[in-house]
Amino acid sequence: MNEIRRHYFLNRWVIVSTGRSKRPEDFEIKEVHIRQGRCPFCPENLSSPILYKVGEPWRIAVLANKFPALEPDEPLSGRDRFFHSRGGFGFHEVIIDHPEHLRFDQLTEEHLVDLVGVYAQRTKTHMADKRIKYVSIFRNDGAASGASIAHIHSQLIALPVVPRTIYKERAKIDEYTHLFGECPFETIIREEGEEGSRVLMENKGFFALAPFASIFPGETWIIAKRHVRSLPELKRGELEDLAAILHATVGTIFRLFPGVPYNLAIHQAPRGRDFHFHIEIYPRLSEFGGFELGNDMYINVLSPERYAADFRRVVR
């Protein structure tokens, strides 16, 4: 038996397998190695100047991307009639998460506190530039996720526009808050906490769940319990809680799906707008075909309830 489920507040539908749902052990993960010779992110091989670092010698380093999607010297202006465009202005940075070749789940909680602190610092730095409307921070881990370099790293792209997903989330947050008097993410935490079957774990500052209308098998959201808009607004204790829950969730995903490629995306406020900070993690256990790409509607063969039950069984 399958079920058609709607996103909590966006008009997005997913077909979820609720009867004959797969279990985590049913997924065959094809290991695709990233071909690489001399690693450009090892400390002895860096060829770009370090923009920001933690520690001496560095434990975390921020560099300008050598192959940027956007560049600060490009024009901002563009066309505003039928063929809308902007110049390729922006900033694209690589955040080298650790000097050694480790997996994300092998980083210590203490190191992750430093890493999310760097995310916050770089967000604050770029949002100080009035031309920047949004700072996107993300991770591609594994060849199937889009990673081209094996060394553990994150990326940041500071944009002069607001991406569609963030724009839609922000608009619906405003609409929902106006109608119901609270942010939809606060409702999600309360309702999912009471229902219980999709809760993964929580701590003082953050709540992790498998969302009701998950697109990806094993999709995981980490939501701030306090209504906070973006990384720079997190207090020291919240950064520590975020590091702890990231360490536990990613580690558990790897125990359930050994070697799985995944993407991680930080969702935070665009300039001058309300928002509710959260992180979304997408294990790449399935591929999209014509139905998904043609309709922006998805089929998930691992129910979030099954995933959450197995997650709670193995989480440490």
The CATH number given to whatever domain includes residue 113 is 3.30.428.10
Q: Which two tokens stand for residue 180?
A: 């119901």
Each residue's pLDDT, cut to its tens digit, for the chain (316 residues) gives 799 999 999 999 999 987 655 666 666 666 655 566 788 899 999 988 999 999 999 999 999 999 999 999 888 877 777 888 888 999 999 999 999 999 999 999 999 999 999 999 999 999 999 999 999 999 998 766 666 688 999 999 999 999 999 999 999 999 999 999 999 999 999 999 999 999 999 999 999 999 999 999 999 999 999 999 999 999 999 999 999 999 999 999 999 999 899 999 999 999 999 999 999 999 999 888 999 999 999 999 999 999 999 999 998 7
Residue 163: partners with Cβ closer than 8 Å, 6 or more residues away: 134, 136
33 within domain boundaries: no
Measured between alpha carbons, how far is 173 from 177 in angstroms, rounded to an integer? Answer: 6
Nearest C-alpha neighbor of 40 from the set 111, 82, 99: 99
Q: Which two tokens stand for residue 78?
A: 């563009």
Estimate the share of the chain in helix, then strand, then coil, as percent rounded to the nearest 5.
30, 20, 45
36 within domain boundaries: no
Quote the distance between the C-alpha of residue 120 and its chain's center: 14
40 within domain boundaries: no
38 within domain boundaries: no
Measured between alpha carbons, how far is 100 from 97 in angstroms, rounded to an integer? Answer: 9
β-sheet bridge partners, residue 94: 63, 155
231 within domain boundaries: yes
Q: Which backbone phi and psi does 175 adopt, to 5 degrees?
A: -65, -45
pLDDT at 172: 96
Q: Which two tokens stand for residue 274?
A: 């309300």
Measured between alpha carbons, how far is 314 from 253 in angstroms, rounded to an integer? Answer: 9
133 within domain boundaries: yes
31 within domain boundaries: no
Sheet-wide strand order for 13-17: 2-6, 13-17, 298-300
107 within domain boundaries: yes
Measured between alpha carbons, how far is 129 from 158 in angstroms, rounded to an integer? Answer: 10
Residue-number span of the structural domain to which 120 is assigned: 2-23+45-74+85-314
What's the number of domains the chain is made of? 1
Check: CB of residue 199 under 8 Å from CB of residue 211.
Answer: no
Measured between alpha carbons, how far is 275 from 260 in angstroms, rounded to an integer? Answer: 30
What is the pTM (predicted TM-score) of this model?
0.93
Torsion sign across C-alpha atoms 287, 290, 291, 293: positive
Residue 117: CB atoms within 10 Å? 19
pLDDT at 86: 84
Q: Helix 184-195 crosses helix 164-180 at what angle (to 10 degrees)? A: 80
AA identity, residue 134:
Y
pLDDT at 28: 63
